[in-house]
Structure 1
Amino acid sequence: MDLTKYPKRKYTLSETPIEKLENLTKVLGGPNIFMKRDDMLGLTAGGNKTRKLEFLAADALEQGADTLITCGGVQSNHCRLTLAAAVREGLKCQLVLEETDYSLYNPKASGNNLLYHLMGAEKIKVTTAGHDLAEDMQELNEELAREGRKGYMIPVGGSNETGTLGYIACAKEIIGQSGDMAITFDHIITPSGSGGTQAGLVAGFSGSDRGNHVIGINVSRNREEQEHLIRDLLERTFSFLRTDGITKEAIRCYGDYVGPGYAIPTPEMVEAVQLVARTEGILLDPVYTGKAMAGLIDLVRQGHFKRNENVLFIHTGGTPALYEYSSVMLSEEN
């Protein structure tokens, strides 16, 4: 797929590294576990949304926007990085934050919330769980229009056809790196939430021998709902790219590790975050990578992978949210 015809900004100076997690591999008794360090991407504190925003911000600038509008949870990594992209481009940014029963908005909270204020979000609108976030963003957009300004709305997670291009590009990057390393990755594991990361990887690997090897570990939905979401986004993306689609078998989502719901901690997530911190000195986040790593660890313990296989875990970032979960992490210490 030729992505050069799509406008793109560059927020990361070089490829993110792929590291072998020697200690974690040893503790778990195989397979060989590697990590793609997308927590080291550019913009404030890094994370997978940076790749999506390279295309989304470029599109916004092409359209003459002066304000980025997006939405997410009260500790949204996507909102943090969208704001960072806006700052980098000299744009304003307005956020719609959704409360849940577990995560209420606290303007004095740490984590991503601290960074919203530090970087100077122009407006933060807080809404209750289940409210139509697209409708809230549209209201902000219409307010801007009445002021003679031009907004650019970005969906949850930056997961639309344009944002998904970021992880098509990432798949191509991984193919090149695996060639340089002379390693074939038998499985690619990624957190799967709004869908753009998993859909982009599946699309980017299509046509290669890795096309059916992407596994999404769900963070908010059951398997059927998430696979439907990924399939719909892929269909829209392939239509946008005007290229052939993929087979149903390429979409695999595991919904066993969500727990009570999105952003609600689980004991398995806490164990995974602690284990990776204490074996590799790498921080995971409690919402996405912590639950995805819990899934990977459980699959290893179940014997899902052969001992000599190579498994690549996509670290999608999100670590600023970890600091807002300190009481959960400390209460589970052993």
Structure 2
Amino acid sequence: MTSDDRTPQRATLGTWPTPLEPMPRLAGALGLNPDDLSVKRDDLTGLGGGGNKIRKLEWICGAALADGATTLVTSGAPQSNHARLTAAAGARLGLDVVLVLAGSPGSSASGNLALNGLFGATVVWAGDVGGEALRSAAEQVAEQLRHRGAVPALIPFGGSSVLGARGYVECGRELLAQAPDLATVVVAVGSGGTMAGLVDVLGPARVLGVHCGAVGDPARTVSELASGLSGTHCAPEALRLRLDQVGDGYGALTERVMAAMTLAAHTEGIVLDPVYTGRAMAGLIAATEAGDIVPGQRTILLHSGGLPGLFGHPATLARAEAALTAGGLVRPRGPVGRE
């Protein structure tokens, strides 16, 4: 019997509910009505710099504690928000943490990597690998820990399992209480659990996912997780997904994303990151341009966090710092986000 097969326990890691804040100036810049657009501040979940992974880790770490785990092991990219928050969760719960990250040590250990060290995590570099090879490397590390007498809990990439996605079932219920008239929630899609949990509560028609390039087949990934939550098949083709914001790849900054980050910062003082929330905002802009999001309907941008990762993204920092000597980035005045 696995942890997913029994009534799960939940660790207390975050502060709930997270706020829902209006964004009238941003709405106006997009041609929406002032009351049409809000942001769900899941960047303010509290622990370790905040972010959406805390909701997932409450369930996953609860199961790990119930199984007698002494060490959390997970994997991710070098600037993984999930890895950073796993390190913070381990510190809060008194568990050791080993992070198996793709790549190798570089010249900079800024952003999330610096926080990993501050939280006391151990980093194992897996080399230039991804997908199955990275998962295998994490499994090997867990096996080594067992031989040393530790009790490791192996957490999946991004914390996205059926168990972890329960966190976003809870978020979906929060949203219904805060905004029962919501028409669309826009969310970045990385490892898929956040969108899957929202779909379970709100249905696929009210959740617009924006693919960030973290997985090869986001529709299948979200479909499998959502189906596992509900116990009934969620067809991939039923999902609302935008695939047009990946650009040159997962970690690459695009002009549309930079424009989206700039617009949110200029109009509302909201800071987005270039990998996830910046892409979600760019997808929201593209959806308004395409008529998929229209005036008079309640739209919510789910802010899934990621601020520390911005400080580990040199291309974005260079663009933002260049704006200081240029007198600020140009404020969009007309239609926004067009290249």
TM-score by length of 2: 0.87
Larger mean Cα displacement after TM superposition, 22-31 or 159-168: 22-31
State percent identity of aligned pairs: 36
Residue 21 (structure 2) aligns with: 19
Q: Paired residue for 1:218?
A: 211
**Residue 142 of structure 2 aligns to which amino acid in structure 1?**
N
Is the 8 Å Cα contact of residues 9 and 58 (structure 1) preserved in structure 2? Answer: yes
Q: CA deviation at 1:107?
A: 6.1
Q: Distance in 2 between matches of 1:109 and 1:221?
A: 21
Aligned match for 2:10, one of 8, 11, 20: 8
Alignment match, 2:161: 160
Does the 8 A contact of 2:126 with 2:137 survive in 1?
no
TM-score, scaled to structure 1: 0.89
2:118 corresponding residue in structure 1: 118
Paired amino acid for 1:139:
Q
Answer whether contact 1:214 1:250 (CA < 8 A) is retained. no
Cα shift at 1:278:
1.0
Q: What does residue 139 of structure 1 align with? A: 140
- TM-fit CA distance, 1:202: 0.4
C-alpha deviations, 1:40-88, integer Å up to 9, x for none?
A: 0121110000000000000000111100000111000000000100000
Pick the aligned partner of 2:286 from 298, 309, 319.
Answer: 298
Aligned to 2:326: none
Q: CA deviation at 1:91?
A: 0.3
Alignment partners' CA distance in 1, 2:265 and 2:158: 26
Q: State the Cα distance separating 1:305 from its structure 2 match.
A: 2.1
Q: Is the 8 A contact 1:108 1:114 kept in 2?
A: no
Superposition pairs of residues 306-321 of structure 1, within 5 angstroms: 306-321=294-309
Contact 2:126–2:134 (Cα < 8 Å) also in 1: no
SS of 1:220's partner is coil
In structure 1, stretches of 5+ residues that fail to align are none
Matched-pair contact (CA < 8 Å) for 2:72–2:95 = yes
Tell me, yes or no, if structure 1 residue 48 matches structure 2 residue 49: no
Write out aligned runs for 1:78-157 (5 A).
78-99=82-103, 105-106=105-106, 108-130=108-130, 132-157=133-158
Query: Residue 65 in 1 paired to residue 69 in 2?
Result: yes
Partner of 1:185: 182
Matched to 1:60, the amino acid is A
Aligned-residue offset at 1:126? 3.6
Q: Which residue of 1 aligns with 2:334?
A: none
Task: Report SS of the residue matched to 1:61.
Answer: helix
Question: Cα RMSD over matched residues?
Answer: 2.0
1:100-139 residue CA offsets vs partner (Å, 9 max, x unmatched): xxxx642642110110111111343242133611111111
**8 Å CA contact retained: 1:164, 1:199:** yes
Q: CA contact under 8 A between 2:224 and 2:234: conserved in structure 1?
A: no
* 2-structure distance, mates of 1:232, 1:43: 29
